[in-house]
Amino acid sequence: MIGTGTVSPSADRTASSYWVETDGVKLLMDCGAGTMHRCAQFRIPWHQATHVAITHFHQDHWGELPMFLFAGRWGTLPARTAPLTLIGPVGFRNRLMVLAGAVGDWLLDPGYPLETREIAPGATMDLARGVTLEACKTPHTAESLAYGVRAGGTRLVYTGDTGPDDALGRWAKGCDLLVAECSLPDGQGISIHLTPTQAGALARAAGANRLVLTHFYPQIEGTDPAGVARRAFKGDVVAAHDGDRFTIGS
């Protein structure tokens, strides 16, 4: 858990960013502000990333991607030579081209092989032998996706940003670990984000083995989101912090 916060500045949480390692894949899911410095703090081998998957185009989920790409050339010795695959929702390539117009053409040709791929809701993409990435539409922005990672008979689901959605619960069915956004406390919920009770209900509908709550706005700090979520979901629930690590499978 690189960053468990939001766009709201926090002394304790950086913006959305998650690192997954499995079977030769090193996947960064989202790349919000603070990602690079947290990687250094937590000794995450960011320069060895094989894939970066962006859930949607809000700045707290992809705003530090230019720095990540730039650092691959100038922020590590030796400079990166291994290929990197960028994955995002439909429209991702166009967004990168527009962004390159602002920051420089190097964004599309950073000095190492760069492939950009788009994934549609309901699609599956092979990341490596035996490792797949799955995508599901979420009710947040027009392009927002949740991602599932399957490897070795286990499945991790990361909701990205989402409001309550029965279809998402069905899609996440049977996941070993559900990393669910939990933006606001009960009583302050809005249609495009989850409260603890709603996150717990999602985990229950999915039959998840374990629920990890993340993406906390300041309003939820000082409350007990895990305790509230447990009223709706009887499995293991953790309110994550930057730097937390979880293992699934053998």
Give pLDDT tens digits for 142-163.
999 999 999 999 999 999 999 9
pTM for this one? 0.97
Residue 6 in any domain: the answer is no
- Look over the chain and give the mean of its residue pLDDT values, rounded to a whole number: 97
144 within some domain: yes
CA-wise closest residue to 66 among 41, 42, 100: 100
Domain range for 153: 18-239
Does the residue 3 lie in any domain? Answer: no
Phi and psi dihedrals of 202, rounded to 5?
Answer: -65, -45
Q: What integer is the mean pLDDT of 44-48? A: 97
Is residue 4 in some structural domain? no
pLDDT of 250 higher than 80: no
Question: Is the model's pLDDT at 18 over the cut of 80?
Answer: yes
Number of domains, the chain: 1
Mean pLDDT of 204-221: 98
Domain membership flag for residue 247: no
CATH (domain of 119): 3.60.15.10
What is the mean predicted confidence (pLDDT) over 226-240?
Answer: 97
Does residue 248 belong to any structural domain of this protein? no
pLDDT value at residue 43: 97
Position 172 in a domain: yes
163 in a domain, yes or no? yes
